[in-house]
Structure 1
């Protein structure tokens, strides 16, 4: 009988170890179905979404600041995004150190930025009313 007990101890240890391994595998998801592959975004998908509005606003501020005498003093307000055009106003310091007052602008990302004072007549106002 002493011989049977010695054989039973390793067998019980092996069965116990297998049960523990199965429990751990189930708890950690190792025994479950393999994960389904996630679809990878394609370039077409990324290109169709275009830049975010936050990026458009940042680019408009950068383009407007290039046109100002004191870019660090720029105070932007009333900025809105309409497709790829940003409309807004900016106040900044002039050459005498005083503030210019709110100037309206229209900026098309990386293409052109126009201030109201750049356009003679009603051209800017008409464009502002149509686009902004």
Structure 2
């Protein structure tokens, strides 16, 4: 099967960002200037990071001049802030690419092309977010996991003392605190009540005589504001 230059089909450079490629695909679809099968191939290949990396290796085997011209420019185009933050690494990688290029006066052989492609597209695909943003998301993920565990344990603790645990409905969960509504011994729902249930032996439900109203409100205020 003949190799298809998908970049040429979309009329974009091989350095085009994912957003640029998406716009080009949309434009071609709206204007019907590209066959549907080719558009589907572009979507499947160029909008998938792993598929695009594999395609680019084949692309530079077919068009090694493109990579050579790109390396001769001396500097990669910076598309967003995250790449700017890694400009030092980019420059180092470009220096490595140039050294590889100069090692062969007769042109780039296949091994050189593959190495160059892998380095370039690692820089394009890696660090799509700033290190600060990644760290923030990591913290959020850890926070959500802790919250989920605390919520689940508290709900199980509360169910262990209810008359009809299967009827329990929870809402407004914050850590080990929340509100629960369940059926009493007569089969009627009691309405939502606040609770604090950090351990199986420390379970306090509102208006059940375990704490007076003022003490409960103070404890609830601290519980609902706690950071886990």
TM-score of Structure 1 vs Structure 2, range by shorter chain: 0.5 to 0.7
Root mean square deviation of aligned Cα: 3.3
**Which structure has the higher relative contact order (CA within 8 Å, separation 6+)?**
1
Greater Rg over alpha carbons, structure: 1
Per the alignment, do residues 19 and 91 of structure 1 end up closer, same or farther by CA in structure 2, a change over 3 Å counting?
same
**Structure 2 unmatched runs, 5+:** 1-104, 123-141
Aligned to 2:177: 87
Q: Which has the higher strand share?
A: 1
Q: Which residue of 2 aligns with 1:22?
A: 112
Task: Give the structure-2-normalised TM-score.
Answer: 0.35
Q: In structure 2, the residue corresponding to 1:52 is in which secondary structure?
A: helix
TM-score by length of 1: 0.56
Measured after TM superposition, the shift of residue 130 of structure 1 is 5.0
Whole-Å separation in 2 of the counterparts to 1:74 and 1:111: 19
Q: What is the distance in 1 between the residues matched to 2:187 and 2:200? A: 28
Q: Once the 2 structures are TM-superposed, how far is the Cα of residue 131 of structure 1 from its aligned partner?
A: 4.2
Q: Is the Cα–Cα contact under 8 Å of residues 151 and 177 in structure 2 kept in the other structure? A: no
- The structure that is helix-richer by fraction is 2
**Paired residues for 1:43-54 under 5 Å:** 52-54=146-148
Equivalent position of 2:219 in the other structure? 127
Cα distance in 2 for partners of 1:99, 1:24 equals 68
- 5+ long unaligned stretches in structure 1: 1-14, 33-48
